[in-house]
Amino acid sequence: MAHATPAPLTQLSEEESLFYSTVRKFAEEAIAPHVRAMDDEQRLDEGLVEQVFELGLMGIEIPEELGGAGGSFFDAVLAIEAISTVDPAVAVLVDVHNTLVINALRRWGSPAQQQHWLPKLAAGTVGAYALSEAGSGSDAFALQTRAEKLPSGFRLNGRKLWISNAREAGLFIVFATLDPSAGYRGITAFLVEKGAHGFAVGRKEDKLGIRASSTCELVFDGCEVAEENLLGEPGKGYMIAIETLNEGRIGIGAQMLGLAEGAWGHAARYAKERRQFGKPIAEFQAVQFTLAEMATEIEAAKLMVYNAARLKDAGKPYVREAAMTKYFASQVAERVASQCVEVFGGNGFVRDYPAEKYYRDAKVGKIYEGTSNMQLATIAKQVLGSR
């Protein structure tokens, strides 16, 4: 993992370049053969999930003494980008686990919770982050899931929707309202294990894109949570959510960047192979200009993603940059994926070629972990100084 002085923007240190190349090679050799089947079957290959753990990609920021790689947030971003070039659905597994679950535990978990859970999360337990509900999307704190204080802990009742990694996860960070009269200051975070009494993973969503990534409903029916599984302090759940989602937006930016890079690579190769009027279509200026425009937007997105990640690692303010990164990278991914389909022509519209999957996968970038409109609202507050 990289520990050198941060390089400027898109320039990577030797260690960072080696790490990115290693993950990219893994994605191309181990993930690529399963992409079509996983998309068709709407589930991750179990052996592939094990390989992701074995490569150390599920404990990037976990300290070495706790079984992790001892890397940086920037390392996690590089891994998400590299995997997304091949399959953004697999990148969701790595992204949510690292940027949301592990970072929340590292920042807010007690020493005992960290000692217990971080080694497990590095070795084979998948993490999920349960905030969203049917009436709580962009209005993230309009939670209906309730937590009741008991003499020995808490009892949870309610439902969560659109929870990524839900089918594979062994640990869930669950947000519920402990004190409704306190509004968002009553929101509290809990650590809930798979198999807990009164807790069940419900229906899996049938999605447009990133279909291999499990997105499920969670049901809490009198689910009892021990006192030691309270994450942070009562009523501080909103702070945990805000902080981790700010980091997570950079992760989504990296996912969309990798998606765009993957789509561009397929488009460029196809343009050199596809012949019309006696020559490769890459020799036509219109196609050249399309590919050049795509490459320029990808480079701009990369500058934003890397800069936001380096700011986060340096302990500097990054909320504005994170919002801009997610907003812009998701726009670029959708445009580049669309242009990739057009370069492929009729072949871009059928499932025998990779273009259509990148196009389907790109759309969610504007929606999850904060819609584009929510990112614009955040950016406007930051640049205009409004409250």
Helix axis angle, 355-362 relative to 237-273, nearest 10°? 160
Nearby residues of 152 by Cβ (< 8 Å), 6 or more positions away: 226, 227
Catalytic residue check, 41: no
**Which one from 61, 133, 168, 369 is the annotated catalytic residue?**
369
Q: Which residues are catalytic?
A: 369
